[in-house]
Each structure stands twice: as structure tokens, then as C-alpha cells.
Chains A and B, each alone.
Chain A
């Protein structure tokens, strides 16, 4: 009955506190990459699209279209989010081995 729901709500509340605890220590300078990183993590919504699309039975075309777009959006969020964050953070590497971004910059 409600045990599962209550367990989930407990997880929800605890996660909120974890979020507060982890983030409050980030230096100003990393805020943009951090925003981008958390942005990538809420790409977890792609799981919702997968689960919903995965278990509908005999869906109408409309439902299929909606969920197909949802899946694309979710994937975009995940992939785009992580790649962008990785690129931003790559800029902070102390060594000059990150030749690719430097080159891109030099072309301009």
C-alpha cells in the first residue's frame, strides 16, 4: 500500500539534504560548470521517457509521438549536458595537453 510511497518520500527528503550539503562547498569560480553539471544530471528524466515508452501497451500514435519526442529531449539533455560540462572543465586543466580547445580558440 503506502509503504513504498513513504519510502520514496523519505528518499526524496534525504536527497534534498544531500544536495544542500554537497553543493554548499563549491567555489564561485566553478559555478557555471556546476550549473551545467547539475543540468546534465537532471537529464535523468530520460529514464522516465524510457520507462513510460517501454511499458505502454498498444499506444495510440499520439502517445507514441509524445513519448518519442520526450525521449529525444531527454537524451539531448543528458548528452548535451555532460559534453558541455566536460568541455568547460577541460579549460581548467593546468597542463597544455588539451590541444583541441586551444586550437579551436586559435582559429578565431
Chain B
């Protein structure tokens, strides 16, 4: 029977890998995800076969049922705009699982001193479990904070201790690791007292809170990705401790891929991962560039009617969506407006910055929801050359990703970040709620340029108004 279980595990993790390969292309992605899901089903069935003699069937059945019942409704009915925080939440509970398993294992074996099944050696069980406990706990509490910030339960701005943050974080890490060391050393000596594992979980948990709280909203996607990778690593460590190949493979693949994703995202924002973990934009306070304090710059505002006319007589319009579009749920209105323009013979394209919104691909998901074709969405490198040939660039709730200072002003905090060259378009219309700066808290000279006009208001209402004007033309 054990062989059957292991064969099923091999089938399962092959399907994970094959499924992930499918996720690399838009056409195969849906099937790839389904293949991975089937693999997961097989892995669960195999595990149920492995533990078929258990005395805990009622709890197991109940746990699975409750998990499904709690998981399906939010996953099915949460708005597309709220997806990033949902991913954060589901990531967090995964980390929580690992930490809880380690805790239970500690209690069951009296501090890893009495194993009931004659396991030998035990060093990997101890090391794996403790590693999983620390990382899982960080991931759980960190993800909850990320969820809270994105859901706007917590303020998005950095909350921290300022200068004391680093030493405190270090202290917490040392506390967690020291507890782990004590538990490890006492394992062969009757086992450490139960409060040691408590201290470990608390130190790691508080560390998770302390690391994510000072991180600003703009860096949140990178953080979620990082926590995702961490949960994967903790799953792999737990798999090593439990001698479970499916967990080792799946956990490690996620750990590796999550690390790459995190790196890609950080690069797209011109941020280094250590700098992000060390504290959010403006966390130091007052250092953020406040260019041209003395001279009040004036931005031109425009009306929906003018904007409609400008676009109706253009040859090409490039739409640059950002987080503002997501918040206002304006994607359907944008699609309607684009269809009208296309009927008038205007070519409409969408320029997607890799980190527009709050996650790479966030905008693509929203626009796809509104049935914008996959081909009309252009990645930054593909479309940047086209702005020079474009009559109107329509920016909907995007800010930092269009900021020309990133190219020109070496004193700007975002200098060097790849941006969309929106300022090269013949004219620029910016839909924005107010003149407030973006997540990064940096002034955007694009808004004061001569060929830029601002249309203030909620993105959805503004786009709706422009659409009405277009219909009337």
C-alpha cells in the first residue's frame, strides 16, 4: 500500500510540474491550472489511503468539509479587483498550516524527544519542523497584514518604528532562532518545555507583523510574492520532516518560482528586495523628493466633452490603466468607450506596465474580464516605441508608472525604474481623482506638461461621461 501511495505522489507532482508549464501561455493556462488541481486531488486521496487506519476520521472529514465550505464562497464571489488580497489571505493560511503542524508535532513528541514510530535519525524532523514553524508563522502573520492593507482595513502607508525597526526585527529573529536552538539541543535530553515552542511562534509571528507593517502599499505585490515563496519553502521543510515527497517537490517548486517572481517584480519597480523588507517608500520620513516647492505648478484641467472630441479625431489612442481603474471598477466602461472609438476608426491599444495596479498582470486580468482581447494589451517594451506615433495617451488612474522623472531626474527616488513613455504622445489626458501623488508619494511632472490635460473625478464616472459625449458626436 505504501508503494501505491508513493506512486500516486509521483503522478501528483508530475501533474503539478506539467500544470505549471501550462501556466506559461495564455492558451494553455486554464488547462494547466486544472491539471495541477487534479494532481492535488490525487495527492490528497493518496494521503487518505496512507492514513486509512487512523482513529481521527471524524475530525479529518469535518476539517475537509469545513475548509471547502469556507474557501469556495470567497474564491467564487470576490470581486476581481480584490484578488490580490485574496491571494494574500490564502497564502497566509497555508503558512499557518505549516506552523500549526510543527506545533502539534512538538507537543505530540514532547519536544521532539519521544517519537512514537521509531523514527531514526530525527535531526531532519527537528530541523525541518522548526524551520517550517518559523517561516510558516512569519508568512501567516505577514500575509494577514498584507491582506489588511490591501483590503484597506489597515492604512496603506508605512507603519513602523522608524530607526528602531531594524534592531527590533533582528532581535525578534534572534529570539525565534534561539528558541529553535534550545528546542533542538534539549530534544535528546528529555525535550524542551512547551513554552519554548510558544516563544518561537510568537517571536516569528511578531516578526512577520513587524516586517510587513512598515511596507508601503506600492511594494505590497512584491511582499505577497515573497511570502508566497516563503510558504513554499516552509512546505518543503515540513515535507522533509514528514518524509513526504509530494510536499517536498511541490513546496520547493513554489519556493523557487516564487523567488523568481519576486525578483522580476522588484526589478520592474527598480527596487531591491532587501530595500523593500527594510522599509517602505518614505519610511524614513521627509526624504521624498519635493521638487519645486516655491513655484506652484499649474495643471490644466479639461472636460469630458473636450476629451471625447480629442480622441474621436485621433488615429491612435493608447489607454494606460492603473490602480485607479481597478478601484473604480472602470474596466467595463473603458471597454465600452474603446468600442465606440473603434467604430469611429480609431485604433485603441492598451499599454500595460508590469507593475500597474497592485500585482503584475493585475490590469490584464481586469481588462480581460471586460473582454478586451489579449492581443490589444501590449507589454511595456512592445509599446514604448509607439507613443511617439500616438495622438492621445489616455491615462486612467495610473501615476508612478508614467512618471518621466524615472528617466530624466537622477535625484528622484524612482530614478531608473522602467516607465511607459507616455509623455512622448502628442497629447496626454489624465483621468485622476485629485492631484494627490501616487503610492510612491512622488510628484509627477507629466501632469504639468504643456500637452497634458487632467480630467478630475472617479475613473468610472469620467470614462462614462466621455462615452456619453462620444455617443453624442
Interface residues of A (CB under 8 A from B): 1-2, 4-5, 8-9, 11-12, 15-20, 22-57, 59-60, 62-64, 66-94, 96, 101-102, 105-106, 108
Given A11-B248, A52-B242, A29 and B232 touching (CB < 8 A)?
A: no
The smallest C-beta distance from A84 to any residue of chain B, in angstroms, reads 5
Q: Which of A31, A39, A50, A102 is B47 in contact with, Cβ under 8 Å? A: A50
**Interface of B (DSSP majority class):** helix
B87-122 CB mask vs A (1 if < 8 Å, else 0) is: 101110110111011011101100000001100110
The smallest C-beta distance from B374 to any residue of chain A, in angstroms, reads 6
Given A20-B260, A30-B29, A45-B97, A36 and B379 touching (CB < 8 A)?
A: no
Q: Does A31 contact B40, Cβ atoms closer than 8 Å?
A: no
Q: Which of B33, B56, B84, B124 is A85 in contact with, Cβ under 8 Å? A: B33
Q: Does A45 contact B238, Cβ atoms closer than 8 Å?
A: yes
Given A66-B107, A89-B30, A108-B329, A46 and B361 touching (CB < 8 A)?
A: no
3 closest pairs, A vs B, by CB?
Answer: A75-B67, A54-B51, A19-B256
Q: Does B261 contact A31, Cβ atoms closer than 8 Å?
A: yes
Q: Does A52 contact B30, Cβ atoms closer than 8 Å?
A: no
Could you list 26 A-B pairs, sorted by A, with CB under 8 Å? Answer: A5-B124, A18-B256, A29-B361, A30-B23, A31-B265, A33-B361, A34-B361, A38-B20, A40-B37, A41-B250, A42-B250, A45-B235, A45-B251, A53-B60, A55-B117, A60-B107, A66-B100, A66-B103, A69-B100, A72-B67, A76-B67, A77-B91, A86-B33, A87-B76, A91-B369, A105-B331
Chain A residue with the shortest CB-CB distance to B93: A73
Given A47-B43, A82-B37, A17 and B54 touching (CB < 8 A)?
A: no
Chain A residue with the shortest CB-CB distance to B361: A32
- Bound CA–CA A32/B277 (angstroms): 21
- Bound CA–CA A6/B66 (angstroms): 37
Q: Does A64 contact B51, Cβ atoms closer than 8 Å?
A: no
Q: Which of B36, B332, B360 is A106 in contact with, Cβ under 8 Å? A: B332
The smallest C-beta distance from B220 to any residue of chain A, in angstroms, reads 12
Q: Does B255 contact A16, Cβ atoms closer than 8 Å?
A: yes
Q: Does B117 contact A42, Cβ atoms closer than 8 Å?
A: no
On chain A, the residues within 8 Å of B83 by CB distance are: 32, 36, 84, 88
Q: Does A70 contact B96, Cβ atoms closer than 8 Å?
A: yes
Q: Does B90 contact A77, Cβ atoms closer than 8 Å?
A: yes
- Bound CA–CA A62/B106 (angstroms): 12
Q: Does A48 contact B354, Cβ atoms closer than 8 Å?
A: no
On chain B, the residues within 8 Å of A62 by CB distance are: 107
On chain B, the residues within 8 Å of A82 by CB distance are: 33, 36-37, 40
Q: Does B240 contact A36, Cβ atoms closer than 8 Å?
A: no
B52-91 CB mask vs A (1 if < 8 Å, else 0) is: 0011100110111011101110111011100110110111
Q: Does A27 contact B54, Cβ atoms closer than 8 Å?
A: no
- Give the interface size class of chain B: 35 or more
The smallest C-beta distance from B242 to any residue of chain A, in angstroms, reads 6
On chain A, the residues within 8 Å of B121 by CB distance are: 1-2, 5
Chain B residue with the shortest CB-CB distance to A10: B248
Q: Does B261 contact A29, Cβ atoms closer than 8 Å?
A: no
On chain A, the residues within 8 Å of B329 by CB distance are: 108
Chain B, 218-273, CB within 8 A of any chain A CB: 224-225, 228, 231-232, 234-236, 238-240, 242-258, 260-261, 264-265, 268
Interface residues of B (CB under 8 A from A): 16-17, 19-21, 23-26, 29-30, 32-34, 36-37, 40, 43-44, 47-48, 50-51, 54-56, 59-60, 62-64, 66-68, 70-72, 74-76, 78-80, 83-84, 86-87, 89-91, 93-94, 96-98, 100-101, 103-105, 107-108, 116-117, 120-121, 124, 224-225, 228, 231-232, 234-236, 238-240, 242-258, 260-261, 264-265, 268, 329, 331-332, 352, 354, 359-362, 364-365, 368-371, 373-374, 377, 379
**Apart from A29-B379, A59-B108, 19 more pairs, CB < 8 Å:** A1-B121, A8-B124, A17-B256, A23-B257, A27-B24, A35-B261, A39-B91, A41-B16, A63-B107, A64-B56, A70-B97, A73-B94, A76-B67, A77-B91, A81-B90, A87-B75, A87-B80, A92-B364, A108-B79
- Bound CA–CA A31/B12 (angstroms): 23
On chain A, the residues within 8 Å of B50 by CB distance are: 51, 54
Q: Which of A32, A56, A71, A106 is B362 in contact with, Cβ under 8 Å? A: A32
Q: Does B66 contact A72, Cβ atoms closer than 8 Å?
A: yes
On chain A, the residues within 8 Å of B365 by CB distance are: 32-33, 88, 91-92
Q: Does B86 contact A84, Cβ atoms closer than 8 Å?
A: yes
Given A32-B83, A70-B96, A73-B94, A102 and B371 touching (CB < 8 A)?
A: yes
Given A47-B244, A60-B107, A83-B75, A19 and B44 touching (CB < 8 A)?
A: no
On chain A, the residues within 8 Å of B244 by CB distance are: 47-48, 51
Q: Does A26 contact B24, Cβ atoms closer than 8 Å?
A: yes
